[in-house]
Amino acid sequence: MQLLNKRPESLLDVQMHYCPGCGHGIIHRLVAEAMDDLNIRTKTVGVAPVGCAVFADHYFNCDMIQGPHGRGPAIATGIKRSKPEAIVFSYQGDGDLASIGMAEIVHSAARGEKITIIFVNNAIYGMTGGQMAPTTLIGQKATTCVDGRKPEVNGYPIRMCELLSTLDGVVYAERTTVHNVAGVMKTKNAIKKAFQNQIDNLGFSIVEVLSMCPTNWGTRLDNPSEATKYVNDSMVKIFPPGVYKDITVKK
Amino acid sequence: MSEKILMKGNEALAEGAVRAGCRFFAGYPITPQNEVPEYMSWRLPQVGGSFVQAESEVAAINMIFGASATGTRTMTSSSSPGISLKQEGISYCAGADLPFLIANVMRGGPGLGNISGAQGDYFQSTRGGGHGDYRLYVMAPYSVQELFEFPLTCYNVAYKYRIPSLILADGILGQMMEGVDISKVKEVDPKNISEPSWSLGVNNGRERRMVGSYDLRDGMLEKMVMERVKRYKEIEEKEALFEERLIEDAEIILVAYGTSARVSMAAVKMAREKGIKAGLFRPITLWPYPQKRLNELANKTKNFLVVEMSLGQMVEDVRLSINGKSQVHLYAKPGGSPIFAEEVYKAIEDIVKKGVKEYATVK
């Protein structure tokens, strides 16, 4: 018998706490596979966020640090500037990155910090129980906008890849999704590229991954396809997947 | 051989930190501490270090969080409102047992206040400031020489006990120029310091490491906090520093730190010239507070006069130390206004000569 696939070495053999149908588990695995493929596990330092992925430091088999809500890119800046030979990534959700941590993500990008950002956008605050996120869609229900997000009250969702791609310090910004197989494959490649850019000392890279949150979206937990359908039918319209910036491509 | 040069307080603080091995600095402009980041911006690259002008105080302290976790000697500096902004990060660093150096060149407050010297951040510095049960090792320099020397002491204590350290200066000290004997600090080359057992980075196959401040498992947070408290107790026993002047025969002892101690010493001299036996007790560490020694002094001396540029903050520690044995008087002025030696002398006279029982500028 031939072993076709196994747990990546960069992912610890522990039970994760993520809900059924959540995308974090898939994205963790893709990050770990990318680390394995590039053989960087022993020189990688990861920054765990505050939010659903707060326990990421218990899952990745590399040096990890867990810091305050939204400050991942600042922490990553401190690590990378002190240990330039290390590969540093910050794993963040939408509340963490696009709300409370907006200044840190924008300025680390503007400075062109040589770090890798994994941004998981599921359009909701998951850990705290389903409040409106900066990326919550218009009309999407949340516990702090029970009738759905209304522009006149709550404003509009923020598109981070589009916003960050205007900054000269960014070398690579891509949005992908993990709601289908093609998206998962693309996400893996994007994450790998975002790490490779750091290995090549090029600059700031971000991969925004659209992900599912059946628990807080109120889609059926016993039917994950309801949540993947929401990504497919609604999220990708507001957050179109694609490469928003890639200066590594020769024109 | 002494090697004396003229230096500005803030620059002496920055140079002292570099000589103590600081190789990473992140900060944000705020008066009256701007010379510290300015100096670091060109000085650190000379020694292979790194300087970042952060987008905010919040980002600065989190850069320190990350850089300190790699075992690098780091520093951030600011002034009162900026230090308030850093409190979340300081609490996280304390919770993650990270050693580093913060400098607060205090200004008048609350709010935007003014940019003159003040001591209104005493409570914030010694009582935690941020959330949760934690302590900082707090040193209070009173001269440019001490601003130059204390970063090394701070790093030594901070690394020994894995605790953040704070230098509590003020706008007057930061802006004044004095001669500094630079031979007093033996230069530390970080390359000669062995890597801490907890630092993150390239691991070359060792066990992976984690730095953080949370644990949701039943009873584990308490265990983590209590282990830290043990270190705090040891610091309280071993690391309190103070200076005494003319206290042997003193009928009144002034208690003051930083700029207030300089003014108080001038008042003590005036009193001595007028035949009043006054002395000065100067806490050098504000946490741990030199409680034990102050308590001993209260066996003999019956009047203590606390002098501070804040409305009765350090006086609480003096009262806790003396614990009712002697009378504790208070000369307090709100931060942002200077204290004059003549005014302090007048208070000494009122207490010793006129026999005022409970002298206080603020009731």
Here the CATH number for the domain that contains residue B334 is 3.40.50.920
Q: What would the two tokens of residue B219 be?
A: 């009873």
Contact with chain B for residue A68, Cβ under 8 A: yes
B52 touches A: beta carbon within 8 Å: yes
Closest CA to B143 of B9, B7, B15: B9
Q: Does residue B33 fall inside a structural domain?
A: yes
Nearest to residue B305, comparing CAs of B285, B276, B284?
B276
Q: How high is the mean pLDDT in each 10-residue block of chain B (363 residues)?
A: 92 98 98 98 98 98 98 98 98 98 96 94 95 97 98 98 98 97 95 94 91 94 96 98 98 98 98 98 98 98 97 97 97 90 97 94 71
Burial B101-119 (b: 16+ CB within 10 A, else e): bbbbbbbbbeeebbbbbbb
Cα(B168)–Cα(A20) distance, rounded to whole angstroms? Answer: 51
Asked if A63 and B201 come within 8 Å (Cβ–Cβ), the reply is yes
Say if B362 falls within a structural domain: no
Q: Which of B52, B67, B214 sits opposite A66 (nearest CB)?
A: B214
Is the same domain home to B286 and B191? no
pLDDT at A177 over 90: yes
pLDDT score recorded for residue A96: 98
How many structural domains does chain B have? 2
Based on the fold, state whether residues B108 and B177 are members of the same structural domain: yes
Asked if the C-beta of A71 comes within 8 angstroms of chain B's C-beta atoms, the answer is yes
With a threshold of 0.90, tell me whether the complex ipTM lies above it.
Answer: yes
**Does the distance separating the beta carbons of A62 and B203 come in below 8 Å?**
yes
Residues B233 and B246 in one domain: no
Check residue B74 and give its pLDDT.
Answer: 98
CATH number at residue B181: 3.40.50.970
B53, B196: one domain: yes
Residue A251: pLDDT band (50, 70, 90) is: low
- Domain identity same for B260 and B345: yes
Structure-block tokens of residue B50: 């790194």
CATH superfamily to which A24-246 belongs: Thiamin diphosphate (ThDP)-binding fold, Pyr/PP domains (3.40.50.970)
Residue B113, in any domain of the structure: yes
Let me know whether B261 and B233 are in one domain: no
Q: How confident is the model at residue A250, as a pLDDT? A: 66
Identify the pLDDT of residue B363: 55
Q: Mutate which of B85, B131, B197, B211 to test chain A, going by most A C-beta atoms within 10 A?
A: B211
Domain contains B148: yes
Is B358 a domain residue?
Answer: no
Q: What is residue B205's predicted lDDT score, i.e. its pLDDT?
A: 81
Would the pLDDT of A15 be above 80?
yes
Establish if B363 belongs to a structural domain: no
B193 and B274 belong to one structural domain: no
Mean of the per-residue pLDDT values of chain A? 97
Given this model, what pLDDT does residue B338 score?
Answer: 85
**Does the pTM of the predicted model rise above 0.90?**
yes
- Residue B191: what residue type? K
Neighbours of B42 (CB within 10 A): 9
- Judge whether B70 lies within some domain: yes
Q: Give the C-alpha separation, B145 to B39, whole Å.
A: 17
Q: Quick one: B154 and B262 in the same domain? A: no
**CA–CA distance, A109 with A103 (Å, rounded to integer):** 10
Residue B142: the pLDDT is 98
State the residue range of the domain holding B272.
242-352
Instruction: Answer with the one of B218, B237, B256 that is the final residue of a domain.
Output: B237
- C-alpha distances in angstroms, A46 versus A10, A90, A184, B69, B200? 11, 6, 21, 12, 10
pLDDT at B95: 97
Q: How far is CA B12 from the centre of its chain?
A: 15
Looking at the structure, tell me whether residues B232 and B281 fall in a common domain. no
Q: Are residues B183 and B247 in the same domain?
A: no
Q: Where does a domain end: B186, B212, B237?
A: B237
Neighboring chain A residues of B208 at a CB cutoff of 8 Å: 61-64
Percentage with pLDDT > 70 across chain A = 99
Q: What is the pLDDT of residues A183-229, one digit of tens each?
A: 999 999 999 999 999 999 999 999 999 999 999 999 888 888 999 99
The verdict on a CB contact (< 8 Å) between B89 and A71 is yes
Distance CA B352, CA B348 (A): 6
Whether B321 and B195 share a structural domain: no
Residues B94 and B62 in one domain: yes
* B50 neighbourhood in chain A, CB within 8 Å: 81-82
